[in-house]
Amino acid sequence: MARIIIWLGFAGALALGACSDGGGSGGTPDSGTDDLLDPPALAPYDDTAPLTELGVAAVAAAPAWLRRDLAIALRKQTPERADELAALVTDAADPRTVDEIAFSIAHTSPEVLEVTSFYPELLALNAELIYAHDAAPDYVELVDTGVPGTDDDFWTTATYTYFQKGGDLVQRTVDRDIYYWFVVHPKMEDENPWFIDAWSVCSSGMLECAATPDEGWFWREFLWEAAADTCPEEGLCPTLDEWLPGLEMAWNGRAGGDAEGAIKEIVELMRFQPVEGDNWLDFGAYGERSIQPNRIYGLGRGNCGEWADMTTALARTALIPNANATPTSWDHTWNAFFDGIKWIEWEPVNYAIDADYSGWGASFEGSHSFYITRGDGLVLLQTPDYRDDVFTMEIVVHDSLGTLIPGASVSVWAPIPDSSGYWSYAGEAPTDADGVATFPLVAMGSYAVRIETPIGSIPAEANSITYASDGIAVGETDVKEYSLEVQLPWPLGGEAVGFEGEAAAAMHLRFADLGARFTPVGQRFGTTYTVEAPAPEIQAWLVDEANLALLEAGEPFEAGWEGTASDADVEIPLDGVSYLVLSNAAQISTAVFGTLSVTVEPLVDGAWTGPATPLELPYEILPGGRIAVSITPAE
């Protein structure tokens, strides 16, 4: 008799070990290991950058809702940088910060995480400071659901106290996504999450100059108290730790000078005049300009862009959800904070809160769209929040054969009023599973688009756009189709020929937790963002070693079985190594994931005894990638 051993090796290798009768007396081997062959140390084929051992541990330590995104993010880094990031999760000094750290890794663009000026410890510091600052003001309380290390899933939100116009204090808890994207995320818009020396001159030709952790500060620590601690001699450096403690409400729902609470205090701090008529932060930019809050603080000046960056950094340091808000076709920017119900526009430089500033009217009337940006570069259009005269533009993208393209990056552009020939960026969105990107835009305007994919662009020329829409009425939907002059990658070109010889085992494949993420490169900042997507169909093949080599080389190959990522029962021989291949070859921007359960049981009496323990293999496959699980009978 023989026994089969199902063994999980590095990143999911599957080995089937058989043993002889051994012993002198024959019969079934006992439960000891003397009669069993050691399973071979097999590494599966995986061209999507397999997780390191530390990466696997970090994913396991992260909350369930973040594991897939964290695994995808770690796979996109070098093993060395992936281990640096993973260690932040596994070695978190405060278990409460594990979810904030994991989120920041999972949802910061890989292009940002891989640069040498980025120090991974910034992400741990960012999370630690959130909890440190939560203790000071009374208007906000962090609320944890689940316990890290005990519960499989856990997350944090924030509850804020507001004063309603009717006279009652109310508490509102923001959605999980609002908390993580617009309070936790260490990247606000176009700046990098770097340590910055506020007091060091940066070249006038540069917008940011990185420092080491010993020489600079992250804005969340600098604006809370470090600015005062490091203030130049005879300087005046206001910090939030002096302005926020004891405040009982975030905002009283009123505009301008009638505002109260943390929102007003941030405005007051930014407009602070240590000497009457002499602002701490002046309006106006010249010489060196910066997109880093610390350096803007050190310079003490800036136009609307610098004021917006400073407002967002101050608000997030104060644990208030906030983002820079941008209109189209008007050289201006302001801010928006989330009050638990909706986004509220504000502009501290003009003491404007909740659309009480008449200057906003020009941008409202002259713009074609309005948007904020997530930390990973995804642009979120908010046009209906500012205008009622909105229509919907749908851009459909397919290849030269008419195959719809999901995950394409589509940007929309609008002409600048009174500026001949110049067009302004108006937002962007990825195409969905049906190849459609949707934009809410101001009606009766003119629009152009640019479409970018890894296999081609429309127009093909760089830095160019093409006509899309003009004069569409309020409430209408305008659909435009565009065809790339190239074809999507073909699926693997294999042929299922079946197995030769008698089947010795039944292999049962069970798939669960299927899902996907669109991972396009955004056009505004040139960084990758992720968007939840439905799981596309991927291929599954069972091949021998020779045909695996042909598959890897892109040559035609033969397989004993083909299928998809769906439950299947396959009868197989056990006369050599087989490879179960999962392929995402046909996707250009969609990463797929799932959990594969493999069980092998005998079809021949007496082939082996003992239970066939399922192999549980969570997997993530990047666009165009594939993985393989080896099945090897021991000799």
Element spanning 241, H or E: helix 240-243
Which comes out higher in pLDDT, residue 570 or 40? 570
Least-confidence region, from 93-107, 139-153, 355-369:
355-369
> How far is 245 from 6, CA to CA, in rounded Å?
59
Cβ-based neighbour number of residue 190 at 10 Å: 16
Distances in whole angstroms, Cα of residue 404 to Cα of each of 175, 437, 483, 516, 591: 33, 12, 9, 17, 17
Give the residue-averaged pLDDT of 527-535.
Answer: 96
Query: Within 13 Å, how many C-alpha atoms sit on residue 262's CB side?
Result: 30
* pLDDT confidence of residue 11: 30
Q: Which of 35-39, 113-117, 347-351 is modeled with the greatest confidence? A: 113-117
Could you give the angle at the alpha carbon of 105 between the alpha carbons of 103 and 107, nearest 5°? 65
What is the distance between the alpha carbons of residues 560 and 498, in angstroms, rounded to a whole number?
Answer: 4
Q: Which amino acid is at 543?
A: V
- Percent helix, strand and coil across the chain, each rounded to 5? 25, 30, 45
Q: Can you read off the two tokens belonging to residue 182? A: 């617009």
- Work out the pLDDT band at 414, boundaries 50, 70, 90: very high
Structure-model confidence comparison of residues 436 and 2, the more confident one: 436
Distance separating alpha carbons of residues 5 and 42, to the nearest angstrom: 14
Mean pLDDT estimate for the chain: 87
For residues 270 and 307, give the distance between their C-alpha atoms in angstroms, rounded to a whole number. 8
Higher pLDDT, 31 or 146: 146
Mean pLDDT of 146-153: 95
Asked whether residue 178 carries a pLDDT value surpassing 90, the answer given is yes
Does pLDDT of 17 surpass 50?
no
Inform me whether the pLDDT recorded for 167 exceeds 80. Answer: no
Question: CA nearest 555: which of 546, 563, 564, 568?
Answer: 546
Q: What is the C-alpha to C-alpha distance for residues 138 and 574, in angstroms, rounded to an integer? A: 67
Closest to 85 in 3D by CA, of 112, 115, 123: 123
SS3 string, 163-230, reads: ECCCCCEEEEECCHHHHHHHHHCCCCCCCCCCEECCCCCCCCCCCCCCECCCCCECHHHHHHHHHHHC
User: Which 3 state secondary structure label does DSSP give 417?
Assistant: coil
| Per-residue pLDDT at 591 | 95
What is d(CA 490, CA 188) in angstroms, rounded to the nearest whole number? 38
**Does residue 277 surpass a pLDDT of 90?**
no
Say if residues 126 and 104 touch (Cβ distance below 8 Å): yes
Q: And the tokens for 386? A: 């500012």
Q: In this structure, what token pair is assigned to residue 618?
A: 């969570």
Q: How confident is the model at residue 4 (pLDDT cuts 50, 70, 90)?
A: very low
Q: Given this model, what pLDDT does residue 74 score?
A: 96
Q: What does the pLDDT average to over 521-550?
A: 95
The more confidently predicted of residues 539 and 634 is 539
Residue 30 has pLDDT above 80, yes or no: no
pLDDT tens, position by position, 208-245: 999 999 999 999 999 999 999 999 987 789 999 999 98
Alpha-carbon gap, residue 102 to 178, rounded angstroms: 16
**What's the pLDDT score for residue 599?**
84
Give the pairing of strands 334-338 and 322-327: antiparallel
- What are the beta bridge partners of residue 144? 156
Whether a cis peptide bond, with omega within 30° of 0, leads into 618 is: no
Helix (H, G, I), strand (E, B) or coil at 126: helix
Token digits for 301?
Answer: 């000046």
Q: Pick from 13, 17, 22: which is nearest to 4 by CA?
A: 17
Alpha helices in 416-516 (DSSP H): none
Residue 608's pLDDT band (cuts 50, 70, 90): low
Coil/strand/helix, residue 604: coil
Say what the pLDDT of residue 350 is.
Answer: 87
Q: Please, which pLDDT band fits residue 265 given cuts at 50, 70 and 90?
A: very high
Q: What percent of the chain has pLDDT over 90?
A: 71
CA atoms of 130 and 140, how far apart (whole Å) = 11
Interval 375-387 mean pLDDT? 95
Each residue of 44-70: pLDDT tens digit?
Answer: 344 556 789 999 999 999 999 999 999
Which pLDDT score, from 0 to 100, does residue 616 have? 84
Nearest CA to 184 out of 158, 209, 210, 161 is that of: 158
The residue ranking higher by pLDDT, 575 or 138, is 138
Three-state DSSP class for residue 468: strand
What number is the average pLDDT over the span 80-92? 97
- pLDDT, residue 205, reads 75
Which residue in this structure is represented by tokens 């798939």? 511
In whole angstroms, give the CA distance from residue 373 to residue 50.
31
| Paired residues of 598 in beta bridges | 509, 615
**Angle, CA 374 vertex, CA 129 and CA 123 arms, to 5°:** 30
Judged against a pLDDT cut of 70, whether residue 39 lies above it is answered with: no
On the question of pLDDT at 180 being above 90, the answer is yes
So what's the pLDDT on residue 5?
A: 32
Report yes or no: 345 and 325 within 8 Å, Cβ to Cβ.
yes
**Mean predicted confidence (pLDDT) in 473-489:** 96
What was the pLDDT predicted at 37? 28
Rounded distance between C-alpha atoms, residue 328 and residue 366, angstroms: 8
Give me the residue label for tokens 């904030």: 100
**How confident is the model at residue 498, as a pLDDT?**
93
Q: Return the beta strands (E) in 385-422 as ranges.
A: 390-398, 409-415
In the predicted model, what is the mean pLDDT of residues 198-207?
A: 87
Burial 48-81 (b: 16+ CB within 10 A, else e): bbbbbebbbebbebbbebbbbbbbbbbbbbeeeb
Integer Cα distance of 109 and 374 in angstroms: 11
- For 491-515, the pLDDT digits (tens) are 999 999 999 888 888 889 999 999 9
Q: What pLDDT sits at residue 435? A: 98
